């Protein structure tokens, strides 16, 4: 039986990865912070199958204790501050958690469990406004905010430890990936929840920003499968995890409201505080390397993913 550690186990990716590993007979240990229990509902149904240990990416001793105690086969770092605007409010905290937190894990692996294989969740925002619209593992870095600077620090740290200490450290360069477990502060979930609330008569309107904004949106469960595949290879490397497709916010709105038999134009309003200018270029990821090397295949297309989120929110709000 393999043993894996997941930081951020209560988040969208962490909870899906937990289920995925349990199905493969892993012993799954989750590092949870005593300071908050955000997302605890995501693991309620499997909590009796997990080992939850208190720890924090800011606390080097807690990380070292866990690494020494379990001698993990695999460590997946999915924890951290994930909402980009927050990084402008607290850049020092963001650097400490998202950047130095990864170094704390890498040092602990190097010093106490060198056989451990490590996965780091890197954000595609490290590329920023690049020259290439179709971004690959070779695209130049141009981080535009404190969040992506910290993520780039973590990404480069994995490469350094891989090259200098022979640590099996991989980074998945993640583009947007969604699911029913996505936080309500993200636009996909804001739309699916908003549409359902309107259908149920709980709300009358949904305020959004630029409907023409485009992103590369994939399905979270597909992405955690790729994370696992990366740690099963003979050689550690970094991979783009993306769909290679662009969709607009309007596409999400159309699918979500259409699923409920509603004409979105009757309910969606434009709010200046949410509006962002359409960039000169629309960036998306090239998943070719992951597809060829890992044999990675995505199971759910964009429309079915949004429809799944609508179904979930309808079920959830009906219960409430």
| 3-class secondary-structure state, position 60 | helix
Question: Nearest Cα to 31, choosing from 69, 2, 1?
Answer: 69
Supply the Cα-derived Rg of the chain in whole angstroms: 20
Taking residues 257-285, report their average pLDDT: 90
Residues with Cβ within 8 Å of 94's Cβ and at least 6 positions away in sequence, in order, are 81, 86, 87, 146, 147, 150
Q: Which of the residue ranges 48-52, 182-186, 223-227, 230-234 would you say has the lowest mean pLDDT? A: 182-186
Question: Nearest Cα to 81, choosing from 155, 178, 172, 7?
Answer: 7
Q: Mean pLDDT across the chain, nearest whole number?
A: 95
Global model pTM greater than 0.85: yes
What is the C-alpha to C-alpha distance for residues 319 and 281, in angstroms, rounded to an integer? 42
Taking residues 253-272, report their average pLDDT: 96
Q: What pLDDT sits at residue 82? A: 79
Q: How confident is the model at residue 103 (pLDDT cuts 50, 70, 90)?
A: very high
What is the C-alpha to C-alpha distance for residues 165 and 101, in angstroms, rounded to an integer? 18
Q: What pLDDT sits at residue 256? A: 98
What is the C-alpha to C-alpha distance for residues 212 and 252, in angstroms, rounded to an integer? 11
The answer to whether the beta carbons of residues 15 and 43 sit under 8 Å apart is yes
Give the tens place of pLDDT for each residue, 30-43.
999 877 666 688 99
| 3-class secondary-structure state, position 248 | strand
Q: Which residue has the tokens 């988040």?
A: 11
* pLDDT of 198 over the 90 cut: yes
Q: Which residue has the tokens 């993306």?
A: 242
Give the tens place of pLDDT for each residue, 201-227.
999 999 999 999 999 999 999 999 999
Q: Where are the beta strands (DSSP E) in 8-163?
A: 27-32, 51-54, 74-77, 117-123, 134-135
Question: Nearest Cα to 165, choosing from 116, 103, 114?
Answer: 114
The answer to whether the beta carbons of residues 3 and 29 sit under 8 Å apart is yes
Q: How confident is the model at residue 316 (pLDDT cuts 50, 70, 90)?
A: very high
What is the C-alpha to C-alpha distance for residues 66 and 31, in angstroms, rounded to an integer? 9
The answer to whether the beta carbons of residues 68 and 113 sit under 8 Å apart is yes
| 3-class secondary-structure state, position 152 | helix
């Amino acid at each position: 039986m393999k043993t894996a550690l997941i930081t951020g186990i209560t988040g969208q990716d962490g909870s899906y990865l937990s289920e995925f590993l349990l199905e493969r007979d892993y012993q799954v240990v989750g590092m949870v912070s005593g300071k908050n229990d955000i997302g605890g509902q995501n693991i309620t149904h499997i909590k009796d199958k997990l080992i939850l240990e208190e720890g924090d990416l800011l606390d080097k001793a807690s990380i070292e204790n866990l690494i020494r105690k379990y001698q993990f086969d695999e460590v997946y770092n999915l924890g951290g501050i994930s909402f980009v605007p927050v990084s402008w409010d607290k850049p020092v905290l963001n650097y400490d958690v998202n950047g130095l937190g990864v170094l704390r894990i890498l040092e602990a692996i190097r010093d106490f469990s060198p056989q451990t294989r490590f996965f780091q969740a890197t954000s595609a925002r490290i590329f920023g406004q690049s020259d290439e619209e179709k971004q690959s593992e070779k695209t130049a870095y141009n981080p535009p905010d404190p969040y992506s600077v910290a993520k780039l620090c973590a990404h480069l740290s994995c490469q350094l430890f891989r090259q200098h200490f022979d640590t099996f450290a991989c980074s998945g360069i993640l583009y947007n990936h969604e699911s029913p477990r996505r936080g309500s502060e993200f636009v996909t979930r804001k739309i699916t929840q908003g549409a359902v609330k309107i259908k149920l008569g709980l709300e009358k309107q949904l305020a959004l920003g630029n409907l023409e904004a485009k992103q590369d949106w994939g399905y979270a469960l597909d992405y955690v499968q790729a994370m696992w595949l990366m740690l099963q290879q003979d050689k550690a490397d970094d991979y783009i995890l993306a769909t290679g497709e662009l969709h607009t916010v309007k596409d999400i709105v159309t699918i979500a409201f259409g699923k409920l038999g509603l004409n979105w134009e009757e309910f969606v309003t434009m709010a200046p505080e949410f509006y962002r200018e359409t960039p000169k270029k629309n960036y998306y990821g090239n998943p070719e390397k992951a597809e060829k090397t890992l044999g990675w295949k995505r199971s759910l297309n964009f429309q079915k993913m949004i429809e799944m989120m609508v179904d979930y929110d309808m079920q959830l709000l009906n219960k409430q």
